[in-house]
Amino acid sequence: MCRIEIREQEFNADFIRAFFPKLDYGVLKSTLESLGDDSLKLDSVEDIDGQPEDFLRLLHKVLLEMDVTQGEMTCGNCQHKYQINEGIPNMLLGADEI
């Protein structure tokens, strides 16, 4: 079961633009889709500075405002499941996994 909350934030386009190069957009898009949200339409983004404000606002919402409060993340590599409880993901590995 998965629960999502929105925590509103003042929009900051500069922050999103500066952060974008550090982001794997494809992974963000597929993660969002796995939460049942297909609002990110573009398949890839070449030039963030050329994007309209609407797109930046969308990224802002996904990155800064959406909070998965209940759910789990599965590692694509080792299949470890990281639980999210009360908004706090548990990123600890077991002693056998390190």
Partner 1 sequence: MKFLLVFSQSLLDFRLAELDSVVEVLNLDLSRPSDENVDLNSACLVVDIGSEDGARALAGRCVLIKHIIQIFAQGSSYDDLHENNKKAVHLWKVYTDKTFAFNVEAAYKSIPKERRMNIINAFSYMQFTAQVNFKKPYIQYEVFEEHKADINSDVDHAHTYAPRLFHRVYFGRFIAFGQRSLVPKFDVKKRAYFGNTSMESEVTVLMANQALARKGTLIWDPFVGTGSMLYLCAYFGSYVMGSDLDGRQMRGQPGKQHTGHPGSRAGGILSAAKDYGVLDKFLDLFTADVTRIGWRTGGTLDAIVTDPPYGVRAGAKRIGLKQGVEYKESYSAQPRPPTQDYDLLNLTIDLVVMSAYLLKRGGRLVYFLPTVNEEYKETDVPTCQGMRIIANSVQDFGKWSRRLITMEKFEDIDTDDSLQNILSNIDINTADKNVSHSNFREKFFRAFEPLEEQIVNQ
Quick check: 41 and 35 in contact, CB under 8 A?
A: no
Site string for partner 1, 28-57 (x = CB under 8 A): ------------------------------
Q: Which is nearer to partner 1, 38 or 49 (CB)?
A: 49
Out of 2, 4, 35, 93, point to the residue binding partner 1 (CB under 8 A).
Answer: 93
Residue 64 neighbours by CB under 8 Å, 6+ apart = 9
Residue 74 interacts with partner 1 (CB under 8 A)? Answer: no
59 CB-contact burial (10 Å; exposed 0-12 / middle 13-18 / buried 19+): buried
Query: Hey, is 91 helix, strand or coil?
Result: coil
Binding stretches for partner 1 (CB under 8 A): 7-10, 12, 14-15, 18-19, 22, 64, 67, 85-96, 98
